[in-house]
């Protein structure tokens, strides 16, 4: 089973498709752009997009240009010396080194040393990984249906499977057209200090980041406002509008950024047992799968 969600089978390396999606980036990179050179490997690792574990040294430098031991990510959003991942006693921490695009844990921007735990999603610039505290519990790597791989001799989990260049992109979410939409109660709680907000749906709550909260708020308002529209086309928001109106953490948001954002909000809603409330439709955009109940 996938070591992150522990509920779905591994498809790519040791990750399931759903958890792999969480690591997807609007920036396309190849496996060869992530290279690890270790000196004193521990039992902890960072799992990349292809489900490959990279064993961490007690003090690991992450950056675009790593001369000695460390994790080299050859991608422009990663600074030359981006962050340190350090083991202090039994606690692993991530400390950003003043990078241009920041370091994140589960989409929270880190402004100082931050303790990470098993299965946290850590991102350097646009490139994300899962932190795994003990690689001995990882399942054997599997060949995925969307990747070609090269099997290479060697020892340890990092040497077992190496996806080849040209790994297919993560598939877009399926399009569905829903009619007979249910009526649900939505409440938005946005703290005055910013930093995201809380969405309550029929009494169930989910905490979202700023951009995720803005997406939900916009779709709720649009669905509530278009009472005169036929239900088949009511409440849709185009990608171009989302790109223009939401608070992005990148200077040039694209359609891929929108798709990634929608995937993550869907995961958050489903994890909070609210359900998949976002519908996508080609040439229309995105909307709620529910009609907000008038207050």
Q: What is the mean pLDDT of residues 243-270?
A: 90
Please determine, for residue 229, whether its predicted confidence score (pLDDT) is greater than 70: yes
Number of domains in the chain: 2
Q: Are 194 and 157 in a shared domain?
A: no
Please determine, for residue 147, whether its predicted confidence score (pLDDT) is greater than 50: no
pLDDT at 211: 94
Question: Of 213, 245, 216, 1, nearest to 107 (Cα)?
Answer: 213
User: Cβ contacts of residue 39 below 8 Å, gap of 6+?
Assistant: 57, 68, 69
Q: What is the mean pLDDT of residues 272-285?
A: 86
Rounded CA Rg of the chain: 20
Task: Examine residue 49 and state whether it is found in any structural domain, yes or no.
Answer: yes
Task: Examine residue 4 and state whether it is found in any structural domain, yes or no.
Answer: no
Question: Of 48, 30, 43, 273, nearest to 167 (Cα)?
Answer: 30
pLDDT at 173: 44
> Quick one: DSSP state of residue 245?
H
Question: Of 86, 74, 79, nearest to 40 (Cα)?
Answer: 86
CATH number of the CATH domain containing 241: 1.10.10.10
Q: What is the mean pLDDT of residues 109-127?
A: 95
Residue 142 pairs with which residues in a beta bridge? 13
Reported as a single tens digit per residue, the pLDDT across 196-215 is 889 999 999 999 999 999 99
Task: Examine residue 215 and state whether it is found in any structural domain, yes or no.
Answer: yes
- Higher-pLDDT residue of 193 and 170 is 193
Q: Are 26 and 118 in a shared domain?
A: yes
Number of H helices, E strands in the chain: 4, 21
**Residue bearing tokens 């006693």:** 89
Q: Are 65 and 157 in a shared domain?
A: yes
Range of weakest confidence among 47-61, 132-146, 177-191: 132-146
| Strand order from edge to edge, sheet including 70-73 | 34-37, 70-73, 59-63, 83-88, 91-96, 114-116
pLDDT at 112: 93
Please determine, for residue 21, whether its predicted confidence score (pLDDT) is greater than 70: yes
Task: Examine residue 8 and state whether it is found in any structural domain, yes or no.
Answer: no
pLDDT at 171: 38
The three-point CA angle 50-53-59 to 5° equals 130
Average model confidence (pLDDT) across the chain:
84
CATH number of the CATH domain containing 47: 2.60.200.20
Q: Are 136 and 205 in a shared domain?
A: no
Please determine, for residue 165, whether its predicted confidence score (pLDDT) is greater than 50: no
Concatenated DSSP letters for 127-158? EEEEEES-GGGPPPPB--TT--EE----SSGG
Task: Examine residue 172 and state whether it is found in any structural domain, yes or no.
Answer: no
Range of weakest confidence among 46-55, 111-120, 189-198, 215-224: 189-198
Q: Which of 163, 193, 214 is the last residue of a domain?
A: 163
Q: Are 203 and 275 in a shared domain?
A: yes
**Structural domain span for residue 270:** 183-292
H helices within the chain, ranges in order? 17-22, 210-225, 239-245, 255-271
Q: Are 285 and 197 in a shared domain?
A: yes
pLDDT at 178: 52
Task: Examine residue 2 and state whether it is found in any structural domain, yes or no.
Answer: no
Reported as a single tens digit per residue, the pLDDT across 40-72 is 899 999 999 999 999 999 999 999 988 888 999
């Amino acid at each position: 089973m996938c070591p992150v969600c522990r509920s779905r089978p591994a498809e790519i390396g040791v990750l399931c498709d759903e958890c792999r999606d969480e690591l997807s980036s609007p920036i396309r990179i190849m496996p060869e752009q992530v290279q690890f050179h270790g000196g004193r490997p521990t039992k902890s690792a960072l799992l990349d997009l292809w489900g490959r574990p990279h064993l961490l040294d007690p003090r690991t430098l992450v950056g675009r240009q790593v001369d000695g031991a460390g994790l080299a990510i050859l991608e422009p959003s990663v600074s030359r010396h981006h962050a340190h991942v350090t083991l202090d006693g039994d606690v692993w921490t991530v400390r950003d080194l003043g990078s241009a695009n920041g370091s994140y844990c589960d989409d929270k921007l880190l402004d100082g040393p931050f303790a990470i735990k098993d299965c946290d999603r850590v991102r350097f610039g646009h490139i994300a990984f899962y932190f795994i505290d003990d690689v001995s519990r990882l399942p054997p790597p599997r060949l995925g249906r969307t990747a070609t791989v090269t099997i290479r001799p060697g020892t340890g989990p990092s040497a077992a499977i190496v996806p080849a260049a040209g790994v297919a992109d993560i598939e877009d979410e399926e399009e569905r057209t829903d009619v007979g939409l249910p009526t649900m109660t939505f409440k938005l709680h946005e703290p005055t200090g910013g930093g995201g907000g809380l969405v309550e749906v029929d009494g169930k709550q989910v905490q979202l980041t700023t951009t995720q909260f803005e997406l939900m708020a916009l779709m709720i308002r649009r669905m509530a406002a278009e009472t005169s529209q036929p239900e088949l086309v009511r409440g849709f928001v185009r990608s171009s509008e989302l790109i223009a109106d939401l608070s992005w953490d990148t200077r040039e948001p694209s359609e891929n950024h929108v798709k990634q954002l929608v995937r993550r909000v869907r995961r958050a809603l489903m994890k909070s047992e609210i359900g998949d409330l976002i519908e996508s439709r080609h040439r229309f955009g995105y909307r709620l799968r529910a009609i907000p109940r008038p207050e």
